[in-house]
A and B are shown apart, each in its own frame.
Chain A
Amino acid sequence: MEIFDIFLLEAVVNGILLGGLLALLSLGLNLIFGVIDVVWICYAELIMIGMYAVFMLHTQQGWPLLAAMPAGIAIVAALGAALHQFVIRPVLAAEPINQLLVTGGMLFLLQAAATLAFGIDFRNLGVRMQPILVGEMSISAPRVIAFVAALAGVGATWLLLSRTFIGTAIRAISQDRAIMPLMGVNPDRVFVITSALGGALAGLGACLLVLQYDIHPAIGLSFGPITFLICVLGGLGNLLGGLVAAFIFAQFISVGGFFFHLEWGYVIAFAFFIAVMFWRPQGILGGK
């Protein structure tokens, strides 16, 4: 194959790998929106906190990565539950706009807290892995790990939602919140559990991102907006739509970034998004 084609193919493969990761990120946000009807503008900042948690536990406390990562997931899950309990719950009955903005305030707060605690330096976990060679292509090992783990996370979430009582309750509450008490379900509790689950997914995302990227307080901004666009493109609250949209977007970013600068990949993805908004504003898989 021509060198150019190999690189292009690599970009496509990388796009698929990135798609798995974006799918995981959008799943948590989508789940929370679908169930609680609130968008966590600070979702990517929770991921940033998770990345720092794994980094600090591993490099400062000397925990092995395989212990630091579950701890990181637990920390972000607890953070998600706390976010709901102390920030979202007081405004749950207020205008939807207030719920949105209150998480916008949390974005500021978390970013600034991370800057205060960890400084503005770029940190790196320093994990080095041999690239995986497939024919003439070389694929980064952390990306493959991230892809597999992200899909496993998506699969586990799907099993939880479809097979368990609490999972069924999580899906049911988004369809009819008012009658949940008649089923013996305490809606407040389901909301907190959902928030913790969304946090755990963000924590898993953090574990996978920290393998590939440098950490800094503003890193949330590099994938927060893209996650929002994916959720809107897939139809807010539509889990399956979000997954499909994640893979489409990842291709635009990866292949677009291959031909131009990485920023242009994002810009092209956004342009595509706007075009879809004109064509199918309810999202690609949304019904009428």
Chain B
Amino acid sequence: MKPLAWIGVAALAAVPLTGIGNYPLHLIIMCLLWAYVYTSWSIMGRLGLVSLGHGAFLGIGAYTVVMLWNHYGFSPWLGAPLAVLLSLAAALLIGLPCFRFRIVGHYFALVTLALSEVTRLVIVALRDHTGGSLGATPNTALAQGNTWSLDALQFSDKRVWFYVILAFWLAGLWIWARLDRSMTRLALDAITHEEDAAASVGINVTRSKLFVTLVSAGMTSVGGVLYAQYQLYINPETVSGIGISLQMVFGAIAGGMFVMLGPTVGAVFTLLLQEGLRLALGDAFKQFPALDLAIYGLMLVLFIIYMPKGILGAALEWRARRRATPAAAPG
């Protein structure tokens, strides 16, 4: 498996060198970016810590960096760590009371959902600085024919962004795998299902949950920074609030949140779905702007009822069963 993974990464890294057009490259970049964000979400989600509020961290990341740059001239190199710190503070504020008093499940989901909405409201309420619902654009540093500015973290060449975001995606997967290995299976299961059992074998449940939450929130916040710097336009609806929060959940679940590449598959799937709908429906799509949302919603419902382990999860399970059956048959 290992060499195969390296070959895959190498092939992926070679894509921009093939002279691929700007639009396909853009799609691939968006795939990788959302794959990174969904992976960040599922680090928590697979432990049963279902956050419906990751839009808050994405929004904090995106807006902190852009606001600091636009109003104070702070470079994103300085803005990004501050954005992450701010997200960690928000995660701590929500996570600490929830985990200390063992509030999980429904409570946690509702509280995080409110957090993401409140983040959106704060962005809108600060309309004198943020531009409110109209969104914001980072002041450009690419005047006079400059194609890139390292200080402002702005690059007009998509290939640069491709490699940056590829690196973050790989880092995200690495963190996922690291966490998977560092916590024993017992500890993971214990946190998810049997809190008392976990406590009795000496696992500090509160601290473990908080740690996972902080990692996930920080990573998502970085995703917000990347989104803002790559798209050069942010809007309270697209980086915070319920909509984007649920989209992350949908992506992770559709792909399969219990396997490492599941969220990535989910990102590819949602993007293909969106683009496919756009091509298939053509003009009708423009006429009915909510059609994709309706199909999203319907698919989310169907996935959870019929394929709760997601595409990749179900596929792996199917393969494992198929392998098991012929082996068992002769005996």
Give chain A's interface secondary structure class: helix
A29 to B249, alpha carbons, bound, how many Å? Answer: 22
Known contacts A278-B97, A282-B101: does B249 contact A104 (CB below 8 Å)? yes
Judge if A190 is at the interface, Cβ distance under 8 Å: no
Known contacts A108-B296, A228-B110, A266-B118: does B249 contact A102 (CB below 8 Å)? no
Judge if B52 is at the interface, Cβ distance under 8 Å: yes
Q: Quick one: CB contact mask for A200-230 with B, threshold 8 Å, 1 for yes?
A: 0000000000000000010001001110110
Counting contact residues on chain B (CB < 8 A from A), the size range is: 35 or more
A242 to B250, alpha carbons, bound, how many Å? Answer: 30
Q: Shortest distance in angstroms between A21's beta carbon and chain B's nearest beta carbon? A: 18
Report whether B250 and A263 are in contact in the complex, using a CB–CB cutoff of 8 Å.
Answer: no
Judge if B109 is at the interface, Cβ distance under 8 Å: yes
Judge if B291 is at the interface, Cβ distance under 8 Å: yes
Judge if B226 is at the interface, Cβ distance under 8 Å: no
A33 to B109, alpha carbons, bound, how many Å? Answer: 14
Chain A residues lying within 8 Å of B103, measured Cβ to Cβ, are 277, 281
Judge if B242 is at the interface, Cβ distance under 8 Å: yes
Judge if B114 is at the interface, Cβ distance under 8 Å: yes
Judge if B294 is at the interface, Cβ distance under 8 Å: yes
Judge if A116 is at the interface, Cβ distance under 8 Å: yes
Report whether A115 and B289 are in contact in the complex, using a CB–CB cutoff of 8 Å.
Answer: yes
Known contacts A115-B293, A228-B110, A236-B107: does B97 contact A263 (CB below 8 Å)? no
Report whether B98 and A217 are in contact in the complex, using a CB–CB cutoff of 8 Å.
Answer: no
Judge if B241 is at the interface, Cβ distance under 8 Å: yes
Q: Quick one: CB contact mask for B290-304 with A, threshold 8 Å, 1 for yes?
A: 111110111111011
Judge if B50 is at the interface, Cβ distance under 8 Å: yes
Report whether B106 and A100 are in contact in the complex, using a CB–CB cutoff of 8 Å.
Answer: yes
Known contacts A115-B289, A263-B125: does B294 contact A229 (CB below 8 Å)? no
Chain B residues lying within 8 Å of A102, measured Cβ to Cβ, are 300-301, 304-305
Report whether B290 and A33 are in contact in the complex, using a CB–CB cutoff of 8 Å.
Answer: no
Q: How many residues of A contact B (CB 8 A)?
A: 49
Report whether A115 and B297 are in contact in the complex, using a CB–CB cutoff of 8 Å.
Answer: no
Known contacts A96-B106, A229-B114: does B98 contact A281 (CB below 8 Å)? yes
Interface residues of B in 279-325 (CB under 8 A from A): 288-294, 296-301, 303-305, 308
Judge if B25 is at the interface, Cβ distance under 8 Å: no
* Candidates A105, A229, A266, A277; contact of B301 at CB < 8 Å: A105
Q: Shortest distance in angstroms between B22's beta carbon and chain A's nearest beta carbon? A: 30
Known contacts A97-B48, A100-B106, A116-B291: does B124 contact A263 (CB below 8 Å)? yes
Judge if A41 is at the interface, Cβ distance under 8 Å: yes
Judge if B277 is at the interface, Cβ distance under 8 Å: no
Judge if B246 is at the interface, Cβ distance under 8 Å: yes
Instruction: Please give 17 more A-B residue pairs, beta carbons under 8 A apart, in addition to A225-B118, A266-B118.
Output: A33-B106, A41-B113, A96-B105, A97-B50, A104-B52, A104-B246, A104-B300, A105-B297, A108-B293, A108-B297, A112-B297, A113-B294, A115-B288, A226-B114, A228-B110, A236-B107, A263-B125
